[in-house]
Amino acid sequence: MSHTTKASGQRQLWHQVTLFDGARTHDTPMTVVMNEGRIERLLPSEQVPTQWLEDGSIAGQGGVITPGLIDCHTHLVFGGNRANEFEQRLEGVSYADIAAQGGGILSTVNATRAATEDELFASAKPRLEALIADGVTTVEIKSGYGLSLGHERKMLRVARRLGSELPVDIVTTFLGAHALPPEYKGRADDYITEVCEHMLPAIAAEQLADAVDVFCENIAFTTAQCERVFQAAQKLGLSVKGHVEQLSNQHGSELCARYQALSVDHIEWLDDTGIEAIKDSGTVATLLPGAFYTLRDTKVPPIEQLRKAGIPMAIATDANPGSSPIFQLTLMLNMACTLFRLTPTEALQGVTSNAARALGIHYTHGTLAEGRTATFCHWQVEHPAELAYSIQPNRLRQRVYKGQITHNSQGGSGHLFEM
């Protein structure tokens, strides 16, 4: 068999689709051509050679194509759940009060420490499958509920294993500085020393983490303590990022900017000085509307200022058992628009190109372009804005991951498009 025959035999087309490529929505009907696992061409449908339509197979027609979605901030691996605290909060106890009473993150730490690797894998898998069914093809997963080398390592191994067993790219982040473990009560600086001198080097040596995160907050670690973690990460050549300015302004964003952090996450309390600092550092502003919603926050991140400063904005689920028990990224598109007033285009950039940037993988992920690995979603909607506009599951018609169709459905009850 000649090479040409083989190549054209494998050509698959998504014809006359509305294309959002990660940056913009094309205004003419487009055709996505896949060949040997790559995007061979992205071209206006009217320019598709007739021969291709005859030879190649039409894998889809009509609807919308976007890059595979990227959830760039999750705590997907954890033991137990916190439905009891949900009830407490409904009775008026605050998230910070629950944390101060030894609940919150620490109750998940207890449950995570008690779980085996297999148990953590089994509980995380359906959560990841929910994201996958919603069009997600890359997920960042943080540690941070182990808070000792052994348990943090266990979490990160589970994250890596999820990526090897399911059709999804997993990016791992070491979040040893998430909360103070009970055995270090009153000795936060000593715990940070343990993180910097023992845990982080061991995790780096095993290549279990792609980046390092911290929780810089009055209920967590000080800016000075977070800086020590960043210094240790920098020495090991690992990129950093931070949970900053979520509940108060600790100027964590300025710290992040000084260490060229990949992203500053939450940032409800980000002020002008913080914006000025991250403006030129290449740092992405990651918005987590699910946590804002769950905690019934009222302080909205400074969207207009971020927009004016040209700072890229990403959106993620922050999927975790406490402040954001949410495993649906398309719902975050809606919340980013409804709660934070992003435009649907900004929201879509936030789960594609800008989310890739927040993970430092934008050279390979988050944008559809000729020559790239074919990882994309075919949606049963007529315009990309609909993905943000309505809250509706089962709109994913096909999910293509690294050239393989890993999901194929008619999507709900309607049959909008002819195959």
Binding stretches for Fe ion (CB under 5 A): 318
Q: Which of 318, 220, 216 minimizes the C-alpha distance to 274?
A: 216
Q: Residue 184 and residue 418: Cα distance in Å, rounded?
A: 62
The answer to whether residue 291 forms part of the interface with ligand DI6 (CB under 6 A) is yes
Stretch that binds ligand DI6, among 102-110, 254-262, 387-395, 405-413 (CB under 6 A): 102-110
Specify the residue for token string 């001198």.
197
> Which tokens is 155 given?
């979490």
CA dist 121 and 77 (Å) reads 7
Taking CB under 6 A as the binding criterion, the range among 33-41, 190-198, 313-321, 407-415 that sits at the site for ligand DI6 is: 313-321
DSSP string, 154-209: HHHHHHHHHHHHSSSEEEEEEEEETS--GGGTT-HHHHHHHIIIIIHHHHHHTT--
Q: Long-range CB contacts (< 8 A, 24+ apart) of 224-231?
A: 225/177, 225/188, 225/189, 225/192, 226/177, 226/252, 226/255, 227/255, 227/259, 228/192, 228/193, 228/196, 229/176, 229/177, 229/192, 229/195, 229/196, 229/200, 230/255, 230/259, 230/261, 231/196
C-alpha 379: how far from its chain's center?
19
CB of 159 to ligand DI6, least distance (A): 16
Ramachandran class of 37: left when φ > 0, alpha when ψ lies in -120 to 50, beta otherwise:
left
Buried b (16+ CB within 10 A) or exposed e, 182-205: eebeeeeeebbebbbeebbeebbe
Q: Which of ligand DI6, Fe ion, none lies near 322, with the C-beta cut-off 5 to 8 A by kind? A: ligand DI6
Residue 108, interface with ligand DI6 (CB under 6 A)? yes
Token pair 């009891």 is found at 84
Write down the least CB distance from residue 419 to ligand DI6, Å: 42
Taking CB under 6 A as the criterion, the residue among 56, 252, 322, 350 binding ligand DI6 is 322
Choosing from 52, 121, 191, 215, the residue that interacts with ligand DI6 (CB under 6 A) is: 215
* 134/318 with CB nearer ligand DI6: 318
| Residue 318 binds ligand DI6 (CB under 6 A) | yes
Under rule CB under 6 A, which residues in 240-269 are in contact with ligand DI6? Answer: 243, 246
Backbone CA torsion sign across 300, 230, 366, 142: negative
Of the two residues 108 and 354, which places its CB atom closer to ligand DI6 in the complex? 108
Query: Which residue's CB is nearer to ligand DI6, number 288 or number 400?
Result: 288
The entry of ligand DI6, Fe ion, none near residue 259 (CB within 5 to 8 angstroms by kind) is none
Q: State the minimum distance, in angstroms, from the CB of residue 109 to ligand DI6.
A: 9
CB of 244 to ligand DI6, least distance (A): 10
> With respect to ligand DI6, which residue has the nearer C-beta, 143 or 320?
320
- Closest approach, Cβ 326 to Fe ion, in A, equals 12
Instruction: Enter the DSSP assignment of 245.
Output: S
Partners of 253 in the β-ladder: none
Smallest separation, CB 243 to ligand DI6 (Å): 4
Given the complex with ligand DI6, which of 105 and 368 has the nearer CB atom?
A: 105
Using the minimum distance from each CB to ligand DI6, give the nearer residue, 156 or 396. 156
- Asked if 315 is part of the footprint of ligand DI6 (rule: CB under 6 A), the reply reads no
- Nearest residue to ligand DI6, scored by beta-carbon proximity: 322
Of 112 and 354, the one with the shorter C-beta distance to ligand DI6 is 112
Closer Cβ to ligand DI6, 306 or 319, answer by number: 319
108 binds, among Fe ion, ligand DI6, none (CB under 5 to 8 A by kind): ligand DI6
Instruction: Give me 273's structure tokens.
Output: 């000085």
- Residue 321 interacting with ligand DI6 (CB under 6 A): yes
Handedness of CA 114, 117, 120, 123 (dihedral sign): negative
Q: Output Rg (C-alpha) for the chain, integer angstroms.
A: 22
Pick one of Fe ion, ligand DI6, none as the site partner of residue 215 (Cβ within 5 to 8 A by kind).
ligand DI6
Please say whether the beta carbons of 72 and 359 come within 8 A.
yes
**Residues at the site binding ligand DI6, with contacts judged by CB under 6 A:** 75, 104-105, 108, 178, 215, 243, 246, 291, 318, 320-323
